[in-house]
């Protein structure tokens, strides 16, 4: 098995990092960690994601082996998404990251406000 170096511009792991650094990917993985979910339920649960972006992100995550798409022969057809064993290896990290963001958003917003105030004052001068 070859060794990979994410700091190398040719490292294929960068594609995975790029995919996982997408906010929609993180939210989808975090949501699917609990239970399998249908497409429209995901769309309702993850506010702000468009149908097109959700569909594209799900396809990417499925291609990368993070989630599974299962089609049920019902009328109308039912499609359900679930996390794979590979995706489960990321659940703890994703969960910690999403909850870190929730826990620290006040501090981040204060830092942004201070930064903006300092930089608007220096540009006005």
- pLDDT for 1 equals 66
**Does the bond joining 75 to the residue before it have cis omega, within 30 degrees of 0?**
no
For residue range 50-64, list pLDDT tens digits in order.
Answer: 999 999 999 999 999
| Token pair 């995550």: residue | 61
Identify the band that residue 2 occupies on the pLDDT scale cut at 50, 70 and 90. confident
Asked, for residue 100, whether it belongs to a domain, the answer is yes
Asked, for residue 1, whether it belongs to a domain, the answer is no
Asked, for residue 2, whether it belongs to a domain, the answer is no
- The answer to whether 77 and 68 are in contact (CB under 8 A) is no
| Residue 84 DSSP label | -
Asked, for residue 22, whether it belongs to a domain, the answer is yes
Structure tokens at 18: 């790029």
pLDDT at 75 over 80: yes
Range of the domain at 65: 13-124
Structure tokens at 115: 């930064």
Sheet containing strand 78-83, edge to edge, reads 37-38, 78-83, 67-72
Asked, for residue 72, whether it belongs to a domain, the answer is yes
CATH code of the domain in which 48 resides = 1.10.10.10
| Residue 7 DSSP label | T
Asked, for residue 8, whether it belongs to a domain, the answer is no
Asked, for residue 6, whether it belongs to a domain, the answer is no
Q: How many domains does the chain have?
A: 1
């Amino acid at each position: 098995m070859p060794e990979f170096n994410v700091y190398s511009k040719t490292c294929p792991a960068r594609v995975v990092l790029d995919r996982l650094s997408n906010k929609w990917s993180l939210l989808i993985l975090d949501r699917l960690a609990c239970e399998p979910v249908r497409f429209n339920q995901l769309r309702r649960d993850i506010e702000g994601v468009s149908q097109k972006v959700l569909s594209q992100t799900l396809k990417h995550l499925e291609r990368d082996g993070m989630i599974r798409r299962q089609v049920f022969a019902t009328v109308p057809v039912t499609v359900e998404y679930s996390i794979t064993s590979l995706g489960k290896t990321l659940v703890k990290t994703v969960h910690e990251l999403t909850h870190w963001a929730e826990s620290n958003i006040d501090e981040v917003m204060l830092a942004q406000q201070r930064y903006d105030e300092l930089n608007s004052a220096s540009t006005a001068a």
